[in-house]
Every structure is written in C-alpha cells, then in structure tokens.
Amino acid sequence: MAATASHTPGTFCWIELCTSDEDAALAFYTALFGWTVRNVPIPGATYVIFRLEDRDVAAMYKMTEPDRARGTPSHWFNYVAVADADESAAHVAELGGTLHAGPMDVGDHGRMVVLQDPTGGFLGLWQAKQQPGVGVRDEPNSLCWNELLTPDSEASATFYRRLIGWETSSMLMPEGEYTVFMSEGTPRAGCMQITPEMGAVGPGWRTYFAVDDCDETVTRVQSLGGALRLGPETVPGVGRWAMFEDPTGAVFAAIAVVDA
C-alpha cells in the first residue's frame, strides 16, 4: 500500500465524520472497511482516528449538543490542502462565500478554516504542520474522490477556481454535465448540479471510498445496518458506484474504479 506523506495544495487531504452515535459508527466502519482505531483525547471529548494498515485514513468525533438541538445530521466533512490558510480565508467573503471558523491553529497539527461556498456547500481548508492529513488514499477502503452537489454548478466552479486555484473541465454524464476540478493536470474532485430527479438533496461535498467490489459493498453495508440510497450504477470508463447512509444517517459513497 502506497503511503502518502504530504498533499499537494488543491488535494483533498482529510475527512472526518461528525456523528450522533459514536458506538454505532465505530462498529459500522471498522467492520465495513477493516479500519482500526486510535483515540486522541481532546478537551471534553475524544477524537477518533481511523487507521488502515497503520496509516491515518479518516477521523470521527461526537456531534455537540447544540448541533444536535439544531437538527444537524450526522455527516462526513472534507478538507482541502492549502499552502496558506490565512491567505485563502482572506478571499472567501470577496468571492461570495462565508467564513464560519478560523483561520485557527489546531495545536501543532496544522491551521484550519471552515467555509461555506456561495451555493451552500461547507468545506474545510487545511494548512499542514505536523499532520499532513490522511496517510493513504486512492487504495481500497480509503478516500478516493470528493464530489460537490450544488444548485448552481457555474457559480460553484467560479468560486473554487478563484479560491483554490483549480482548473475545470466538463464531461457529459447520464445525469447531465459533470464538472471536474483539476490542478497540475490531475483530477482532484467533481461537481454536479442538483436535478429534480435527485429528490430532496441539499448542497454539499460528498465523500467517496475506493472498494474492490461495489456490489459486495452494497451487501455488506446493508448487513451492517446501513442503507442504500443510490445505485449501484456503472459509469463507462470510470467504475461502478453506489451511495449509502450509515446507521447514524451520514451519507457516503463507494466506487470500484476500472483499471486504466
């Protein structure tokens, strides 16, 4: 398994699960992906680091009571690596976004920002210090892709091009035009406009995990108390994917990518 020691700016570098039920989420993901656990004490709580073959692969923390009272659902939250969190944060408002937290230091691990783009999607920015982010990605049972669902793909693309420095390209999918965010010629993430056929879907970034067999993953998710939301479907030349809810309601996707 290839180790990831650092992340190029513009790369999704960290993911964390905010959950209403730590025990249920812990049992589900360790069984589904074979992750092990390292607990990190933080003031008033525990920050759970999920590991895959002794490398950090994701994290989890318990939802606060104020968030629970507001009806915040369990969710996966995503971070993009940036060279300078303060510089990036300084441009959020002028580009039409909203700065919700930071820039702030997270101990000596790094410096973070939480923002909301002009169409409603939340995203974290991470300037690494001692913690570069996930130690493995694009391998089975690890992060492999992130995708923005938005009511206005053009506005979203403009915002992220200017803020993150991504370039964009487009491809036609069965559901409509799909925008690919790129840097240094490498695809980093995707963006799709929300359509009526998607139902009651709000804007936000989705987290995809690589798997060896999508259909087998569907069976395992359901046997572990999760639910199938979309798929499984095959995208020619890309892979076979499905979208799920874990037992606490957090949405995530899995994809078995075809070999190039």
pLDDT per position as a tens digit, 74-106 = 999 999 999 999 999 999 999 999 999 989 999
Q: Which of 116, 178, 173, 172 has its CA nearest to residue 153?
A: 178
**What is the DSSP code (8-state) at residue 22?**
H
- With H, G, I as helix, E, B as strand and everything else as coil, classify residue 153: helix
- 39 CB burial (10 A radius; 0-12, 13-18, 19+): exposed
The model carries a pTM of: 0.92
> In the chain, helix, strand, coil percent, each to 5?
20, 45, 35
Per-residue pLDDT tens over the stretch 121-142: 999 999 999 889 999 999 999 9
Per-residue pLDDT tens over the stretch 241-254: 999 999 999 999 99
Domains, the chain: 12-128 (3.10.180.10), 143-257 (3.10.180.10)
Direct distance between the N- and C-terminal alpha carbons of the chain, in angstroms, rounded to an integer: 18
pLDDT at 260 over 60: no
Longest dimension (CA), the chain: 48
